[in-house]
Chains A and B, each alone.
Chain A
Amino acid sequence: MKITLKVWRQKDANSKGAFKTYEHSHVSQDMSFLEMLDVLNNELVQKGEESIAFDHDCREGICGMCSLYINGRPHGPLQTTTCQLHMRSFKDGETITIEPWRAKAFPVVKDLVVDRSAFDRIQRAGGYVSVNTGGVPDANEIAIPKKIADEAFDAATCIGCGACVAACKNASAMLFVSAKVSQFALLPQGQPERKERVEKMVAQMDDEGFGACTNTKACEAECPKGISVANIARMNREYFSAITSSYEVMAKGGGD
């Protein structure tokens, strides 16, 4: 296959970027999208040109490190991660445009690499159950209905890649945040901190500069792990329930 690539090149966070065009004639349909870029990068280095920087690691669709906005869609035409996308999804002679994730809260670091540390800071605000190592009950003392456990698992499969933010016209992180809030709102282990968790995580999300949700569901359509927007609905309910009945409000005598 032969393809034309229009790739966003940007020296660093402070420089202005621009598209650069590459003719790539050594493409096989069995290559993954990232392998196609590997081959191009090796050719560039041999020509004395700096390789294109992009994030990747596990290359089996689970670490969430790869990104790329391909032909206007996060992770390209299939609902999977970029590392699991193969060149057989493209046509011979096609022009493919590759951009970094576009969101104010994900500043570009270099070329196609962005800074997603905002996601870590949101998780740090409350995305856990506060138990120390040791001193916990036997695992089977906590019985959880299978249906609830499965639903919590579905929410917990988020890989934190940021495709939901990249897909959203508002660059909202609601799907990402709601996945963790849902996991713990569903499980008995999450109950003691249920209210503070959602309040703190939403507050951090807002501080990071992510946009609001306007229910376009673009996030769900592009999420490589198929995280459902039902989680967003659950998070909204959790949030309103928390702010109207938080322990602080109750301690003051019920919202006077």
Chain B
Amino acid sequence: MKLDSKAPEGPLAEKWTKHKFNLKLVNPANKRKYDVIVVGTGLAGASAAASLGELGYNVKAFCFQDSPRRAHSIAAQGGINAAKNYQNDGDSIYRLFYDTIKGGDYRAREANVYRLAEVSVNIIDQCVAQGVPFAREYGGLLSNRSFGGAQVSRTFYARGQTGQQLLLGAYGALNRQIANGKVKMYTRSEMLDVVIVDGKARGIITRDLITGKIESHSAHAVLLCTGGYGNVFFLSTNAKGSNVTAAWRAHKKGALFANPCFTQIHPTCIPVTGDHQSKLTLMSESLRNDGRVWVPKTARPGLKAADAVNIPESERDYFLERKYPSFGNLVPRDVASRNAKYVCDEGRGVGTTGLAVFLDFSDAIKRDGEATIRAKYGNLFDMYAQITGDNPYKSPMMIFPAVHYTMGGLWVDYNLMTTVPGLYALGEANFSDHGANRLGASALMQGLADGYFVIPYTLGDYLAGMPYEKVSTDRPEFKEAIDTVQSRINKLLSIKGKKTVDQFHRELGLTMWDYCGMSRSEKGLKFAKEKIQKLKEEFWSNVAVLGGAGELNQELEKALRVADFIELGELMVDDALNRSESCGGHFREESATPDGEAKRKDDEFAYVAAWEYKGENQPEALHKEELIFENVKLTQRSYK
């Protein structure tokens, strides 16, 4: 299979304009003859469904939550980048493009990233017109801040709830199209398979989560806007329901899965307190602007935050300041995360589990006063106190890294189409724009760029070449997909084993975290692969799923998702094994500089690894999309 990115020729800044002109259009009167399925209603899905409905297409939108407003985009805190240069501080589309390519450690496609930067300015205009209440200055204009180490202030924000406000804006636009009859909304519906007819994606199979009814839906194109797969680690900052099933089912029907091992680990999360832990909570990394990260020089198992104040300065190891004197506590996410793991691996971690490091504000409070710190971080300190019961004004916070975002996803071309014609992937569900690591405040930007400003153009080009005829859901392809889904459900219900779905999920997550997380080695990955294969076998013979198929059955929902996570886990390990370089968010132990820092191998790995499913228990086939950099020069990062 030859992977054609369809990235247009010509100068970078003209590619998208030229491409838009070359795309075929669907006559306004003919748009109503086409049906489009949109799965997922986060930023990418809601914006796509609304925009396509406005254009006149008939849209069917699906979400597994009880309302489209609950999609996990809602939880994004920090902000959204846009190259508006409102601050007159030297930002430009090219600079945002450059920062994103560099932040992704040169593993993203230039043309896509430039387009993302280009449409970023339209996103802010759109959201403001919808009434999204962004932060403003006293003069009434929009406020910006610098985010994630950027040297310009290009991040727009709505207090710590930017994702919520953007999603509610898109939800409003979606609601308007539902009211207009252009979008039909299916809530509490989970997509369990994609249906291919004559080589094209022509529909999906869903399960109504209330009645358990398996339903078929046909359309002229299918858009997967189903988010990332961070929950493969069980513990992540994702919502509990976030899952890979839609993308994974598409993968098994022919869509290539790109760079699955690229996951982002966020350094400032609230640590695990015990085996009952169900998810991890992120705190904005802006905390590292004033907090100092440390652990005791010698191991003190079980050290509590309240007792940390008694440890004298001479016995503290401010390990980031020590190892990276010029960046100190502000080293990038992956460096901060990895070093926290190292000190914990050495046994110097703190707290009841030993999997935590201190983030200490006492110096900042002494220097600036408690009121100043409260004004900057009050909401984060309150959140921390609420969850942990500790007072971070009096004793240091405890933090530990957690999985936050997945850069990998379904392979898509410049038009956001997967390798299955008519099947598209938008937002976090695709792999396209963030390379090996995502820049802060870029996830919201990408979701909305794809939904508002890319797919409305590129989808038309595909549909213009499609006949109007609808395919009937009575066709054998639909029946067959339904049978597969049903037999899978029946199988899960018939096992009646001893272990709960959560137990399997937790085991999978631990394996992934230990061997396919921030630091990886060939030996560890091979061990993980074996473990996952055994876990899969055990899952299908010993999982306990009670209740029936024809009712609200949350254990069954989880089981279907975990079954797919197990398979994805194995592919992530394969991908990590193949990519024997340190790159972006992950560190490969065999690929280090003499002083132990990450070493990227551009001559061997400047490509997208796209995996093709070859059948049950068969090794997947690797396809490479070589990345060609015509505009930026590849450099190694250094934070010493």
A contact set with B: CB distance below 8 Å: 11-12, 28-32, 34-36, 38-39, 42, 45-46, 48-51, 53, 55-60, 62-65, 80, 84, 86, 88, 109-110, 113, 115-117, 119-120, 123-125, 127-134, 136-140, 142-146, 149-150, 152-153, 156-157, 159-160, 183-184, 187, 189-190
B224 at the interface (CB under 8 A from A): no
| Interface of chain A, main secondary structure | loop
B54 A157 Cβ-Cβ under 8 A: no
**B65-86 CB contacts (< 8 Å) to partner A:** 65-70, 72, 74-75, 84, 86
Residues of B with C-beta under 8 A to A45 = 500, 544, 546, 555
A254 to B547, CA, bound (A): 62
How many interface contacts (CB-CB < 8 Å) are there between A and B?
215
B contact set with A: CB distance below 8 Å: 47, 50-51, 54, 65-70, 72, 74-75, 84, 86, 122, 124-131, 133-142, 158-159, 161, 164-165, 168, 171-173, 175-176, 178-179, 185, 187, 210, 237, 239-241, 273-274, 276-279, 281-282, 386-389, 452-453, 456, 498, 500, 502-503, 544, 546-547, 551-552, 554-555
Nearest Cβ distance between residue B449 and chain A, in whole angstroms?
12
**What is the chain A residue whose CB lies nearest that of B242?**
A57
A120 B133 Cβ-Cβ under 8 A: no
Nearest Cβ distance between residue A242 and chain B, in whole angstroms?
18
A133 B452 Cβ-Cβ under 8 A: yes
A-B contact list, 25 entries, CB within 8 Å: A28-B273, A36-B276, A38-B276, A50-B546, A60-B75, A62-B74, A63-B239, A64-B70, A116-B67, A123-B69, A127-B175, A129-B172, A131-B126, A133-B126, A133-B456, A134-B452, A143-B139, A145-B136, A146-B140, A149-B136, A150-B136, A153-B158, A156-B133, A160-B67, A183-B133
A136 with B126, Cβ < 8 A, contacts A49-B546, A152-B133, A183-B131 known? yes
A16 to B480, CA, bound (A): 38
A60 with B281, Cβ < 8 A, contacts A28-B274, A128-B175, A136-B126 known? yes
Residues of B with C-beta under 8 A to A183 = 131, 133
A120 B67 Cβ-Cβ under 8 A: yes
A214 to B139, CA, bound (A): 39
Nearest Cβ distance between residue A87 and chain B, in whole angstroms?
10
B70 A123 Cβ-Cβ under 8 A: no
A137 with B125, Cβ < 8 A, contacts A117-B66, A156-B165 known? yes
A123 with B171, Cβ < 8 A, contacts A57-B239, A59-B279, A139-B128 known? yes
- Using A63-B75, A125-B179, A149-B140 as known contacts, list a sample of 12 further A-B pairs with CB atoms less than 8 Å apart, ordered by residue number in A: A30-B276, A32-B278, A53-B552, A62-B164, A120-B185, A120-B187, A127-B175, A131-B130, A139-B127, A149-B135, A183-B131, A183-B133
Residue in contact with B544 in the complex, picked from A46, A64, A124, A132, CB distance below 8 Å: A46
Residues of A with C-beta under 8 A to B276 = 28, 30-31, 35-36, 38-39
Nearest Cβ distance between residue A29 and chain B, in whole angstroms?
8
B500 A86 Cβ-Cβ under 8 A: no
